[in-house]
Amino acid sequence: MRGWVKGVFIVVVLPILVGGIVLLVAGRKVMYELLQRRIAGRFPEVQWIAPEELALWRDDPGRTQPVVLDARTQDEFDTSHLRGAIRIDPYRPSTRPLAGFARDTPIVVSSSAGYRGARVAAWLRRAGYGSIQNLTGGLFRWVNEGRPVFREDRPTQEVHPYDRYWGWLLKGRHRAQAPDIPKQSAAP
């Protein structure tokens, strides 16, 4: 019996413990990388833009500025969003928020951590929009790296955490006290 217990420990328990220690030590950076790979695998047609690239783009007055779409719920958007963002329903997307923009207008989609943004970006590509990118790591990574978010056109430090589990991806000072978002998709 001891050999069986030892085998289970080596094959099952030990890898879980090592994985847990790695996550504690490496933390959010590893989680963002794993999440990014999973989302990119689910939506291979989606182009991505890193937060630092988007920040440089938005600070460059010589470049055509992208339309920024926020693929989160109204409650999340009301808590905070990127400056000038337009909300698009991540569960029932519509081209209505893009009325008046040419189909080749550059578009950047953001969500909490990237999943809903990738869903909307893929949907927009199928709808005929050609210059679409999804924000890598979403609003969570954006704010964790010290970039600004806004509530009613005023700077804020808080972002809606989506729920108590996904909110762990946010640094504590950025995690708004807000009720969980009812699950309508696989991830934020």
* CATH number, domain containing residue 152: 3.40.250.10
Instruction: Give the mean pLDDT of 92-115.
Output: 94
Q: For the chain, give the percent of residues with pLDDT over 70.
A: 84
Could you tell me which residue, 1 or 73, shows the higher pLDDT? 73
Instruction: Give the mean pLDDT of 20-25.
Output: 51
99: Cβ contacts below 8 Å, ≥ 6 apart: none
In a domain, 168, yes or no: yes
In a domain, 14, yes or no: no
Instruction: Decide: pTM greater than 0.85.
Output: no
Give the whole-angstrom CA distance, residue 66 versus residue 85: 10
In a domain, 71, yes or no: yes
In a domain, 24, yes or no: no
Alpha carbon distances (Å) from 4 to 12, 18, 143: 12, 20, 48
In a domain, 36, yes or no: no
Question: pLDDT of 39-98, one tens digit each?
Answer: 999 999 999 999 999 999 999 999 999 999 999 999 999 999 999 999 999 999 999 999
Question: 136 and 49 in contact (C-beta within 8 Å)?
Answer: yes
Q: In what order do the strands lie in the sheet with 132-135?
A: 47-49, 132-135, 107-110, 67-70, 86-87
Instruction: Give the mean pLDDT of 106-135.
Output: 96
Give the whole-angstrom CA distance, residue 157 versus residue 42: 31
Strand partners, 154: 151
Question: Total structural domains in the chain?
Answer: 1
One-character DSSP codes across 36-64: HHHHHHH-TT-EEE-HHHHHHHHT-TTSP
The pLDDT of residue 19: 56
Structural domain that includes position 75: 46-92+101-176
In a domain, 186, yes or no: no
The pLDDT of residue 183: 77
In a domain, 107, yes or no: yes
